[in-house]
Each structure stands twice: as structure tokens, then as C-alpha cells.
Structure 1
């Protein structure tokens, strides 16, 4: 547990931003696209020194979900804290077409950097590529694009790792024998695909001892989670565990199970690290575990955008560059270690 916490704190501390005093070296697009990982840090937070003002545009979906609302909140608060970031937020997109228009309008305002959290990475790849062609570097949060030519830097959590960790946790709890339900996020997006793949890969060690008896998307929404789980409970007479892709959505799943008076039969895991989910984990109830996927990554995205706009890199890297891909590891939060992570929970 402590090792997991140190890893998490190291990753977050790496973005304390970290202005590099060296002049940026010229590099090829291939060099900028090279895979990179975060450098280690001293583990202490430092306030960034004000520098050249940077105009950052941020495009986000509608905040119909606690995690999405926390993403925008973290971005706004970080821009205010830094002092030299002029942040323009455009939110409320509900589909790729409306977000593409939103991105086009933001790019027309000639920002130094564009930060995006996408409704659909595949569908919005052309819009991001157009921004890059207009010489507006794109920083992507969480949901991936279809091509590395569409972004300057991506930052997100380890979605495959969340699924793999959840699969291993459930396999251990069930001793590799039982029926499992998977409640997915939004069908077809990278987050959902990776969380499902990681889960399936982890269960392979059970040699079909754990069966996924139902798998359905509920769009990260509590109401949809309730609706989907109600139907599954009617169809499946024996369920041992429910793997959900999201803590907020899982609240609807939990309600459905409790309403059906089947909460002694099974347990639930989630992802995201909401305060409500962590409180349920701490109580030792139906909700057995969550896997940390913190919206503070939006604050890190603003810091990275600031560095890119100022032509700087991460302080602890030898190269005066911002990496092209930064991934925060998945961390299992259970009753045994939840006390160490409550401060990371979002509303």
C-alpha cells in the first residue's frame, strides 16, 4: 500500500511545474513523438515561478458526471494558481459533432495551446489534426485520439491497468470461481475498450473458472447504471461480483442490487476514486474496491500546456521537452488501504 502511495505521489509531484531554465532544443516531429515517461522527483510540491503569459483553450464535454465536473474544476483552479495562464474553457459538448465545432471555434481564437477531453477520440481525430496543422499544440486528457499526429502530448490514467487490477482483485476474492457482471462506460471509446481488455486478460489465469455472464455499457451515468443492472439482475439468478468501469455509474448499480435485496450475494468494484465510493469501501459494505483514476490529471494537463506554450520542458528531464505521453498508474483502493487515499477523492 505504501509503495502504491509513493508511486502516486511521485507522479503527481512530477507536475509541480517544473519550468526548465534551458532554452528548448530544436527537434524533429519524430523526436517530439518519441514515447516518454515521467522523470522521478524529490516528492515535494513546488510553486511554479510566473513566466511568459500563455493562452490556453480547454474543450470538455458536458459535466453530467462527477469526474467530468472535477476535471473542469481542477483545470480552472490550476490556471488561477499558476497566475500566467489565461484559460478559456468551453464545455457542454454532448457529441463529437458539437465538440468538433467547439474545437474549431477555440482554435480560431489563436490560443497558444489547446487542451481537450474528448467525447470520442476516433471521431474527433480530424478536428485535433486541424488544430495541429494550425500550429496550435494539442494536449489530450484521458481519452485517446486515433493518431499521434493529432496531439502534442497525451496525459491520462492507465485504463488497461484499471481493468487488469480489477480482474485480478475479483479473481482473488472469488478464488477463480464464480459469475461476474461487467458494467462498461461508453461503448467504443478507448477508455472502455482498454478497461475491458485488461479485465479479460486478468481473468485468463482462472482458466474459465470465472465467467462473465453479462456485459453492457451504461455510459458512465448513475441512472443508466441502475437501469442496466436491474435488467441484468432479472436475467441472472447467480452473480458473485460486479466490475463497473466508474464509481459514479456504480452508485446506480449498487442501488439496483440493494433494491433487489441481493447485496449479500455479490460485491461491486468501481474506478475513479470518488469520495462516496471510498466511503463505501471504508465501511466494508457491498462496495469492495475502487481503482484510483484521479481528475487532478486536468491540473497536470494545464501545467503541461503552460510549459509547451513557454517553450520549456519538465525540470527533472535532461531533455528540455515535455513528453508526448504521460500515464498515471492504476492503484487499487480497498478497505485495508482506503484511509491513505481519501484525500484524493473527488465529489
Structure 2
């Protein structure tokens, strides 16, 4: 565990009124912006709220007490090693936003993709006096002991990037994240465009037990079934969001299904492993085998520029500002809805080079 201490003299990010107005003013980019790719930025890539849904939850509903974040201990439980670009960007965003807000103490742990460790990490942060928790869950199920301990301690839990199956406004405050089913549908659109509407497709599944994998797969299949009969799904296999497993799985799939002409990977790491596997098979990734994935890492976007990947649907990991804005709103007395969904863009052959600086 690492502890970062910030001067208490630093001011809170903004007043509740300003934050509420800022979030209310966030809109989903229009079709023109979406087709042009991620908007120019300073590299921060702050998230835009697309929509919120579900019942609102106030401090009174949750049973929480008033908290000034500049006099608080905030805990962040990361799910997977920061060797993955998505996780590194996510952790950095939380650290940077905590510093900007002026949080007194920030506790950071990493579960290394182990659910028992994440439960122990959260309980340990509670023992160290955490007043508010931000959790990137390892799985959608199984955090019950940790959430129960937080509830007993009166500590609100905000989940990011993966949704838990527990009870909103009782076990956790809200979920901040992407519309993963929509990401899957958009990946199907991109793969259809890349292949000209005809392909034998292999799917690289993310890890089981979380809504990201389930929704990205369901959205893709639903869109293919409804819109793209020429995309034939001939194989799907778990590669656990890992590059080495993505490579190994694709090597095996290309041997057993040599007629595969397209790959949909649930994340960029698996897609980059697929690139290596396709090359090892003596075929050209991005040409002989079209590849579409989800995330928006710099390596994957560079692979689009290099011609090895055809498109990447963005999944923005920079949750820090939005997470602390949500906490500020909550402690100012505003109701927080169950699902706060962000807007994600897309990288393709037309915009990747010009927008490489927005990748993480």
C-alpha cells in the first residue's frame, strides 16, 4: 500500500454549485465529433458524462455523515496491476485528482487481479481510517465482505469501470463507467466496415465474472445478428484481458480455424497479442486478418497508424476528476444516481495519427 499526503491548505476542486452546473452542462458529442475521433486535448482526456440513470441517493439515504475531503482519508482500490496501460492511466488520474482537490490522505492499493486480496485491501484501508472509498472491482460479484465492512463503518463506496451486483444506495453509492454493451455494438460496426461486411470472426473474451466482458460480448453479438449477417462468428475464447494470453489463444485459433479473417478483442492488450500471433502465422494483421478492439491505449492506437489494427473503440480510464466531483456533489447534499455513464470516442485509420496524443 502507498500513502500520499497532500497539504490541507489546498483548496477543494470547486464548490458544489459549480460542480453541479459543470456536470449538467456535459453532453454527448454529436455525430460529427464522434466520426472525427477523440477531440483535441492537452492529453488529459477528461471524461464527458453521457447520461445518468437509476434512483438518486443522498447522504441521508445512504446513512453517511458530512465530510470535507480536504480533511479526509480517501482509499482507492485498484483491481489489476498498473503494468496494463488502462490501469496505469486510471490510477494516475485518481492520484492527480486527489491532489487537485487537496485530499488530506490518499491510500492506494492494488489487488493484482485477486478478489481475496481486494477484499483484504479494502478492509485494511477501513482499518487505517478511510472516510470514502473508490473501488475498481476485480469482479462484479464477490465483494460482499468488503462492502459490508464499509457499510458497518459508515464509509460510502463509489465503484468505477466495473459495476457490482450489490444494492445501490445500500452497499455502494454509484457506478461510474462506460456503456459496455454500446462499445460492443460500435466494435461490430467498425469490424463490418473494416471487412466490407464479410468475415469469419474470432472473439477474444475478457475475464469472466464481470459486466465488462458480458456486455461487450452481448452488444457485439446483438449488433452482428441484427445488422451484419456476413460476419460469421466461428470461435470465441477467453484470454483474460491479457496480451500474452491473447497471443497464445490466437495462435491456437489460427491453427484450428485457418479461415479466420477477423478478430474482435474485448481490450487492446489482447488485440496486441493477436497482432503478434497473426504475424507469427505468416499473415498480415490489419489486412489478412482485420482486428478491432476496445480501450484506446497508445500502443493500440499506434498499431492503427502502423496498419496492424483497424479500429479501437475508446474506453476512457481517467475517472479521477469525475469521481471526486461526484463525491463533492454527494457531500453537498445532492442525490447521486445509480449509473453515471460516460461518452467514449473511437480511433480508426482516418483519425488515429492525428489523435495519438489523446491515447493513454
Question: When the two structures are superposed, what TM-score results if normalisation uses the length of structure 2?
Answer: 0.78
Q: 1:296 aligns with which of 318, 328, 347?
A: 318
Q: 1:329 aligns with which of 343, 350, 356?
A: 343
Q: Residue in 1 aligned with 2:33?
A: 3
Alignment partners' CA distance in 2, 1:85 and 1:302: 13
Shift of 1:235: 0.7
Contact 1:129 1:151 in 2 (8 A): no
Q: 1:276 and 2:299 equivalent?
A: yes
Q: What whole-Å deviation, never above 9, does each CA across 1:104-160 have from its counterpart, x for those lacking one?
A: 111222322111111112011442243134211001011110122321021111211
Q: Residue in 2 aligned with 1:267?
A: 290
Contact 1:179 1:238 in 2 (8 A): yes
Q: 1:58 aligns with which of 73, 76, 89?
A: 76
Shift of 1:277: 1.1
Aligned positions of 1:9-28 closer than 5 A: 12=46, 28=61
Q: Residue in 1 aligned with 2:92?
A: 73
Contact 2:37 2:346 in 1 (8 A): no
Shift of 1:85: 4.6
Q: What whole-Å deviation, never above 9, does each CA across 1:257-283 have from its counterpart, x for those lacking one?
A: 011111142111111101111122123
Aligned positions of 1:143-162 closer than 5 A: 143-147=162-166, 148=168, 149-162=170-183
Q: Residue in 1 aligned with 2:276?
A: 255
Runs of at least 5 residues in structure 2 that lack an aligned partner in the other structure: 1-30, 50-56
Contact 1:56 1:112 in 2 (8 A): yes
Contact 1:270 1:290 in 2 (8 A): yes
Shift of 1:323: 3.5
Shift of 1:9: 8.7
Q: 1:191 and 2:209 equivalent?
A: no
Runs of at least 5 residues in structure 1 that lack an aligned partner in the other structure: 16-23, 33-49, 314-319
- Three-state SS of the structure 1 residue aligned to 2:164 is coil
Aligned positions of 1:121-200 closer than 5 A: 121-147=140-166, 148=168, 149-200=170-221
Contact 1:161 1:330 in 2 (8 A): no
- Three-state SS of the structure 2 residue aligned to 1:121 is coil
Contact 1:8 1:328 in 2 (8 A): no
Q: Residue in 2 aligned with 1:244?
A: 265
Q: Residue in 2 aligned with 1:205?
A: 226
Shift of 1:322: 3.6
- Three-state SS of the structure 1 residue aligned to 2:201 is strand
Contact 2:161 2:317 in 1 (8 A): no
Shift of 1:298: 3.8
Shift of 1:25: 7.5
Distance 1:7 1:85, change over 3 A: farther
Contact 1:292 1:332 in 2 (8 A): yes
Aligned residues: 311
Alignment partners' CA distance in 2, 1:91 and 1:53: 24
Alignment partners' CA distance in 2, 1:230 and 1:272: 22
Distance 1:190 1:112, change over 3 A: same
Alignment partners' CA distance in 2, 1:51 and 1:224: 41
Contact 2:47 2:316 in 1 (8 A): no
Moved more, 76-85 or 227-236: 76-85
Q: 2:357 aligns with which of 325, 343, 346?
A: 343
Question: When the two structures are superposed, what TM-score results if normalisation uses the length of structure 1?
Answer: 0.80
Q: 1:287 and 2:301 equivalent?
A: no
Contact 2:140 2:163 in 1 (8 A): yes
Q: Residue in 2 aligned with 1:39?
A: none
Shift of 1:196: 0.2
Q: RMSD value over aligned CA atoms?
A: 2.9
